[in-house]
Amino acid sequence: MKRMLTPQELAELEALLPPGQVLWGDAIGPDWTHDELSGVSGMPGAVVRAQNTRQVSAVMRFCNDHEIPLTPRGAGTGLVGACVPVAGGVLLDMSGMNRILALDEDNLSVTVEPGVLLMELAAYVEERGFFYPPDPGEKSATIGGNISTNAGGMRAVKYGVTRDYVRALEVVLPSGEILTLGGETVKNSSGLSLKDVVVGSEGTLCVITKATLKLLALPPRTVSLLVPFPSLRQAIETVPAIVRSKAAPQAIEFMEQEVILDAENYLGKRFPDHSAPAYLLLRFDGNTLAAIEEAYDDVAKLCLAQGALDVLISDTQERDESIWTARGAFLEAIKGSTTYMDEVDCVVPRSRIHEMVDYLHALEKDAGLRIKSFGHAGDGNLHTYLLKDDLSQEEWEKRMADTMEKIYRKARELGGQVSGEHGIGYAKRAYLQESLPPAALALMQGIKRAFDPKGILNPHKVFEP
Amino acid sequence: MEILVCIKQVPESNKVEVDPVTGVLNRNSAASKMNPYDLYALETALRLRQELGGRVSVMTMGPPQAEAVIREAYAMGADDGWLITDRRFGGADVLATSYTLSQGIRRAGPFDLILCGKQTTDGDTAQVGSEISEALSLPALAGVLRILSAEAEAVTVEMDLTDKVETVRVSLPCLLSVEKDIAQPRLPSYVRKQAMKDTPIHRLTLADMEDTDPAHYGLSGSPTQVQRIFPPESNHKQEKWTGDGPELTGRLFRLLKEQKLWQGGR
């Protein structure tokens, strides 16, 4: 089923681009064959390092004409194999298109190429007093990748997800045609929102070559509260009350002592407190310290009333760094604590998050493997990691598949979805199929055919068998 | 053990901008915080109290609003706070500041142990600790990396001498300036903040001191005068290396060692 390129095709492809932008054979290093976690790998027939939209268009037309599969790729930080060229063909590396094109202070937007990294965008806008709220933990992901997975992150509780900040997209269709979807306008009621169909489509419909993103004014101050609890259950059960309190924190994260200790080992740095079994981490923003203190005061009291051991205040850059650096390293830290792992990124209604966490805790005993989770308690999005440790490959695969099945079943039962922010890619297709009504799946496949009649774009991903 | 920690209120931003023409410190916001290095001294004190019992007091010199860092120290666990504030103390250089603090300590003490941070993020002189000890005729150690043991009459510490670490036992009372990372500072506690809300802060003015001669304080007590303030030269350097993995790894390792960014195998 793997499509490699003939020497003739490679020569034609090379002729489309300036020298050095097409790689094949030994020049394709292992980095291009996998992403960060999924265990999915695939060797492409050629890697094309695109530098501009015209090149993307030429390559896509070529692949479409020759029916060569084409998989777009950003920084390769995905966790579900979405950017892995499982069908061979051409891997279109977009990371070279990484310029910030324009900051529009009149329309509060910034226009970027898709290869700009999230951390570069954040630094660029924040230096100028603006704020791009989506805040996934992986800061070295590309904006193109964030749009393709509709990435969420920690600030989703208050500010929403990537989709809420995409105003316009320049995309290239498989035919090579270049289209702009959406626009610089705040409102738009002009037909189907194709831009929103593309957000979260994981490279299955078209290739994004430019994005105009909405910005907000940067909140001048933030304060984080680290709240220790005597048990995870008490911590999680406090979350719905915080949401109800209308205090509107930017972020509500939960973490357990064990993961904090892993992060301390991984980073070689101490967390400001690791004496309690479980923590909530909240972040508030506002114009002045006094305004923020007023906003969090009720939440602090509420946490204490729910049994919190204390409410610890982080109000300076140094204190924030000591907490959030560790929070940002959780994934890597857990990865470093075991031999291999796989993840579940399910999302449930936030009012039911405690049921999910309870379930996972109970499941750990039955599953016969270590389960660690942390995540965005405030928006119902849990990151759960199943750890292989010293299990044999056979035993691991059996227990992992069985456990995942149970977790997804529970998520569905609670009214949840397969993925909150990491996407479906290659690794989670079966679970998506189980969770969606056949009619919804058929609509998705129909949309796919309308964009990509020959089916060359990122085959076998998301809704495709 | 009676422990005193010297703390200071500094501008919140670590990026000090100086107007290149006027030489005036550009404090673009009024926001301030406790000197980050002092957090390590305070944490060290709180851990010693946990081990040995006693009390932790904090002292700062500054305008009335410097009270905020004492409240912050209360929220972190301090028992008692002293604010040295008087217009006549304004414009003090390192020597006058140290002398004023030493006078305050005579008034607030006696203390078994005085702890200071390594330096401040605004002045960066790293001299106040040692000069306080001089004015009080106390033994002082700087660059303290670790407290190995503490008893009623002496402490044993590890001191960073750049190229080696010296273990020193020093009798009390004494003054220690502690290094960053001696212990991860705890966060201020909301519960403690509420509980300490009404705890008073002692205020000391010139009239409260043993030495009430205004010539020894503030600008007039300062032998050094600032002639000019200018922004430091930025020395961000970028180098690009090419080569194979092992070669680059070796080069990077040597560079990290040369720049003292590598602490392994000390």
Cβ pair B186:A312 closer than 8 A: yes
CATH number at residue B177: 3.40.50.620
pLDDT of residue A284: 95
Chain B closest-CA separation from residue A342 CA (Å): 30
Tokens of A215: 């910005």
A314–B contact, CB cutoff 8 A: yes
Asked if B189 and A314 come within 8 Å (Cβ–Cβ), the reply is no
Distance between CA atoms of residues A209 and A51, nearest Å: 10
CB spacing of A312 vs B14 below 8 angstroms: no
Q: Do A316 and B36 touch (CB under 8 A)?
A: yes
pLDDT tens readout for residues B77-116: 999 999 999 999 988 889 999 999 999 999 998 999 999 9
Does B232 map to a domain? no
> Which chain B residues touch A300 with a CB distance below 8 Å?
190
Instruction: List, as one string, the DSSP characters of A213-252.
Output: EE-EEPPSEEEEEEEEESSHHHHHHHHHHHHHTT---SEE
- Angle subtended at Cα A40 by Cα A38 and Cα A44, rounded to the nearest 5 degrees: 135
List the Cα angle B201/B202/B203 in 5-degree steps.
115
| CA count, 13 A, side-chain hemisphere, A94 | 34
B185, A226: Cβ pair inside 8 Å?
no
Q: CA of A273, closest CA in chain B: separation in Å?
A: 7
Query: For residues A448 and A430, what is the distance between their CA atoms, to the nearest angstrom?
Result: 18
The residue of A127, A269, A312, A315 whose CB has the most chain B CBs within 10 angstroms, and thus the best one to mutate to test that interface, is: A312
pLDDT in tens, chain A (465 residues): 688 899 999 999 999 999 999 999 999 989 899 998 768 899 999 999 999 999 999 999 999 999 999 999 999 999 999 999 999 999 999 999 999 999 999 999 999 999 999 999 999 999 999 999 999 988 899 999 999 999 998 899 899 999 999 999 999 999 999 999 998 887 888 889 999 999 999 999 999 999 999 999 999 899 999 999 999 989 999 998 998 888 889 999 999 998 999 999 998 888 999 999 999 999 999 988 889 999 899 999 999 999 999 999 999 988 999 998 888 888 889 988 899 998 899 999 988 888 998 899 889 888 889 999 888 888 889 899 999 999 999 999 999 999 999 999 999 999 999 998 899 999 999 999 988 999 999 999 999 999 999 999 999 999 988
Q: Can you tell me which residue has the tokens 């922004």?
A: B231
For residues A262 and A215, is the Cβ–Cβ distance under 8 A? no
Over 70: is that where the pLDDT of B21 sits?
A: no
**Is beta strand A221-229 parallel, antiparallel or unpaired with respect to A251-256?**
unpaired
A320 touches chain B (CB under 8 A): no
The segment with the largest mean pLDDT, out of B12-26, B160-174, B232-246, is B160-174
The chain A residue lying nearest B180, using CA atoms, is A318
Which uninterrupted H or E stretch holds A301? helix A289-305
- The answer to whether residue A292 neighbours chain B at the CB level (below 8 Å) is no
In a domain, B237, yes or no: no
Residue B152 lies in a domain: yes
CA–centroid distance for A464 within its chain: 20
Region of A15 (left: φ > 0; alpha: ψ -120 to 50; beta: rest) is alpha
Q: Give me the sign of the Cα torsion angle A142, A143, A144, A146.
A: positive
> Number of structural domains, chain B?
1
pLDDT the model gives residue A141: 96
CB distance B112 to B1 below 8 Å: yes
Token pair 């997800």 in the structure block, residue: A161
Distance (Å, whole) CA A409 – CA A391: 24
| Contact call for B189 and A312, based on CB within 8 A | yes
The answer to whether the CB of A98 falls within 8 A of the CB of A115 is yes
Quote the pLDDT of residue B214: 92
Asked if B5 contacts B112 with a C-beta cutoff of 8 angstroms, the reply is no
With beta carbons under 8 A apart, name residues in chain A contacting B196.
none
Contacts with B36 from chain A: Cβ below 8 Å: 316, 318
Q: How far is A265 from chain B (nearest CA, A)?
A: 14
Interface A-B, measured as beta-carbon pairs within 8 A, has a size of 48
Does B246 fall in a domain?
no
Comparing alpha-carbon positions, the chain B residue that sits nearest to A224 is B187
Cβ separation B190–A311 shorter than 8 A: yes
- Give how far B60 is from chain A: nearest CA, Å: 19
Residue B159 lies in a domain: yes
Interface test with B, best of A293, A304, A310, A316 (most B CBs within 10 A): A316
Q: Do A310 and B189 make contact, defined as CB atoms within 8 angstroms?
A: yes
Residues on chain A touching B75 (C-beta within 8 angstroms): 313
Residue A129 burial class via C-beta count within 10 angstroms: exposed 0-12, middle 13-18, buried 19 and up? exposed
pLDDT over 50 at B266, yes or no: no
Q: Is the pLDDT of residue B22 over 70?
A: no
Q: Tell me, yes or no, whether B254 lies in a domain.
A: no
What's the ipTM?
A: 0.81
Alpha helices per DSSP H over B53-149: 67-76, 94-108, 128-136
For B190, name the nearest residue in chain A, comparing CA atoms only.
A311
pLDDT of residue B237: 78
Angular region, A452: left φ>0, alpha ψ -120 to 50, beta rest: beta
**Nearest CA-CA distance, residue A313 and chain B, Å:** 5
pLDDT digits (tens, 9 = 90+) for A439-465: 999 999 999 999 999 999 999 999 988
Residue B98 resides in a domain: yes
Chain B contact set for A289 (CB, 8 A): 31
Minimal-distance CA residue of chain A relative to B43: A272
pLDDT of B30 over the 80 cut: no
| 3-state SS assignment for residue B86 | coil
| Contact by Cβ (8 Å): B30, B10 | no
Return the higher-pLDDT residue of B243 and B52.
B52
B190 touches A at CB < 8 Å: yes
How far, in Å, CA of B71 to CA of B188, rounded? 10
Of B12, B33, B188, the CB nearest to A313: B188
Q: Classify residue B233: in a domain, yes or no.
A: no
A362 near B CB under 8 A:
no
Give residue B263's pLDDT: 65
> A311, B191: Cβ pair inside 8 Å?
yes
Which positions in chain B touch A316 (Cβ < 8 Å)?
A: 12, 33-34, 36
B261 touches chain A (CB under 8 A): no
Question: Looking at the partner chain, which of B12, B31, B187 has a beta carbon nearest the beta carbon of A272?
Answer: B187
Domain that holds residue B208: 2-216
Give the closest of A289, A300, A322 to B190, CB-based.
A300
Q: What is the pLDDT of residue A437?
A: 93
